[in-house]
Amino acid sequence: MAPGKSKATSKDDSANSKSSDGQVLDIAQLPIQQVNQLAQSLDKELDYLQSSMQQMKDIQSRFVSAKDTLKSVNTENAGKEIMVPLTSSLYAAGTLAGDNKVLIDIGTGYYVEKTINEASLYYKRKIEFITKQMDLIQKKLVEKYNFKQVIMELLQSKIQAQTSQMQQQKAS
């Protein structure tokens, strides 16, 4: 790789970036202002991905909690008084039925009656799906973070080059 060029992605020709029209751009040739804008754009993307990752973790923990709760629902506990969560902060008194069936929230206010085994399998599938999505987001996060590191190194080298050029001009 030529001096002054930086790798911008994990690919070998990583000092290049594809533009929206499919053309390859050499980011090392961009002016400082555009490199700075690219870094700011990457910051926003990283913030969005981190926020998405946190939301996925929250959803995953709710599914894990729901699946774990199913373990306490059995015929031995039939007739026991419980507090049923209606929302995250609203509970209603209830009694466990002994028929081995539960209502599960499938989203947007819809509930489906399932056996405990069916509900457990449903939550297992949801947890696996969310975990796969989190893996994809994590890969994107690492990719974007590495790209940002390269951009920051490029920006720093451009600023240093510009500063030394200005100092040389003052000296002459």
Tell me: pLDDT of 135 over 50.
yes
Q: What does pTM read for this prediction?
A: 0.72
Q: What phi-psi label fits residue 4: left (phi over 0), alpha (psi between -120 and 50 degrees) or beta?
A: left
Q: Give yes or no for a contact between 35 and 152, defined as CB atoms under 8 angstroms apart.
A: no
Q: Which overall architecture, per CATH, does domain 32-147 show?
A: Orthogonal Bundle (1.10)
CA-CA distances (angstroms) from residue 48 to 10, 78, 138? 21, 45, 12
- Compute the chain's Rg from CA coordinates: 27
Q: pLDDT tens digits for 69-122?
A: 888 787 777 788 888 878 879 999 988 877 788 889 898 989 999 999 999 999
**H or E segment to which residue 92 belongs:** strand 91-95
C-alpha span between 123 and 161 (Å, rounded): 56
Whole-number Å distance between alpha carbons of 51 and 65:
21
At 170, the pLDDT band (50, 70, 90 cuts) reads confident
Q: Which residue has the higher pLDDT, 30 or 47?
A: 47
DSSP string, 21-40: TS-EEEGGGS-HHHHHHHHH
| Helix, strand, or coil (residue 56) | helix
Provide the residue ranges of all domains of the chain, joining segments of one domain with +. 32-147
Give ∠ CA 60-100-78 in degrees, rounded to 5.
Answer: 105
Q: List the beta bridge partners of residue 94.
A: 82
- The pLDDT assigned to 79 comes to 83
Of the chain, the percentage scoring pLDDT greater than 70 comes to 87
